Structure 1
């Protein structure tokens, strides 16, 4: 076992599967205590049973401020002050601007953008009391360049970049760092359908392959740890070189 997060308490949203699960598992391997938040009760319960006493599960909706308050209160009661927040929860709806429904647009904004805002806001008091903190917002290459066929998703991921930079400036005085990680195409359940039907391909990826969740986790871990103590407000693309040109 490593100790890059030894003694730290982390909250990871969307932590029951996919990239979120990868983050949770690695954080615990590195010495952290982790509360994972997800709407998937069965998957969340099963994961913490595997991981043991260093993990807890809270079934919650990241778009609800009262549930955020409950999750942070629970985290502090179980493990102490929140040192790390990973805003990983997100949804992807495929649609074009011309035929996007208001319902799909607003639902995407609620989860990807409002959920990130509420998460950052909810942990600020705990991090301020502790005198430190690292917030890692999961963006996307869709927040670095334009993409067709997922209009709302693109809008929210560009918003995550802006919120990250504004929060980094506001919270620096409290020794709270805020950074964004922008994954490229990663082999997760969320993109399985798009990969299988050819909507997502390796074309344009310099390294010629899709990413693995663990490769994203490596960067999230770095930003969560004290190794990145002089980095805040940054955009880190983990995309196999997709956004190079």
Structure 2
């Protein structure tokens, strides 16, 4: 999205080593922001290096509060501030409700809900007037079209992404009421053919919900007025927009980026 200028902004993107997170980090950098890639995988360092010297990498387990504090501290120290936080890190484990494992439920709750909550917590603390960055900013949480539709095989994932939506709205209200100067929004990505998206198609076919992964993808497209799957840049453009001054009076929303699938 070359029409938006984020020059001088400092961004932290979780799950930035691959997939949607990498695409969002690259789009923010292309718009002029300095970006800290935060990921549990060391491959995030390679992504940061490919962006150039103005960017960085920090190891982050989003389920660990102390780790979050360290990542924020590293971002402010290396980039010189923090204006944009993208809570993208998430996991999806496909299962029929009759077969779901408690351990898998806990993993999704920990990463998708706890991880996002801790991100909001530490982001607000850093961006509010008395924080380490102290200039306000924008927090963008990544929910999913799964929060708005009933797609088989992903009940717990859908529930966690619905929670991300509610967290977003309450965080926006608290930030506004307390004068933090931080806008908080989320986006609902549609199905994107990343490793996670392709894995979901294979998984629901294996569960017998669709005849094949191709049939699962076809079903998604059939439900989508836009007539195609989403692309990484579709989601990245929405993040750049919400991070920018073009969205300066937008807070507390869930923005569907799903080709109309969740309407």
Which digits, 9 at most, give the CA deviation of each residue in 1:104-124, with x for residues without a partner?
001001001110000010112
Which digits, 9 at most, give the CA deviation of each residue in 1:8-28, with x for residues without a partner?
111000001111111111111
1:47 to partner: Cα distance = 1.1
1:81 to partner: Cα distance = 2.3
Task: Say if 2:230 is the partner of 1:217.
Answer: no
Tell me the number of residue pairs that the alignment of Structure 1 and Structure 2 aligns: 243
Cα contact 2:4–2:240 (8 A) shared by 1: no
What residue in structure 2 maps to residue 26 of structure 1?
Answer: 27
1:138 to partner: Cα distance = 0.4
1:193 to partner: Cα distance = 2.7
Q: 1:167 aligns with which of 148, 153, 171?
A: 171
Distance 1:38 1:180 in 2: 20
Task: Say if 2:149 is the partner of 1:145.
Answer: yes
Cα contact 1:211–1:240 (8 A) shared by 2: yes
Label 1:151 to 1:195 Cα distance change in 2 as closer, same or farther (>3 A): closer
What residue in structure 2 maps to residue 75 of structure 1?
Answer: 75
Label 1:2 to 1:77 Cα distance change in 2 as closer, same or farther (>3 A): farther
Which digits, 9 at most, give the CA deviation of each residue in 1:135-169, with x for residues without a partner?
00000011112222112101100000100000000
What residue in structure 2 maps to residue 230 of structure 1?
Answer: 249
Unaligned runs of 5+ residues in structure 1 are none
What residue in structure 1 maps to residue 125 of structure 2?
Answer: 125
Distance 1:177 1:49 in 2: 29
Q: 2:162 aligns with which of 149, 152, 158?
A: 158
Unaligned runs of 5+ residues in structure 2 are 203-212
SS at 1:146 equivalent: coil
Distance 2:3 2:48 in 1: 20
Which digits, 9 at most, give the CA deviation of each residue in 1:51-75, with x for residues without a partner?
1112111122100111101100101
Distance 2:152 2:187 in 1: 21
What residue in structure 1 maps to residue 14 of structure 2?
Answer: 13
Label 1:2 to 1:31 Cα distance change in 2 as closer, same or farther (>3 A): farther
Cα contact 1:28–1:54 (8 A) shared by 2: no
Distance 1:124 1:193 in 2: 34
| RMSD after superposition | 1.4
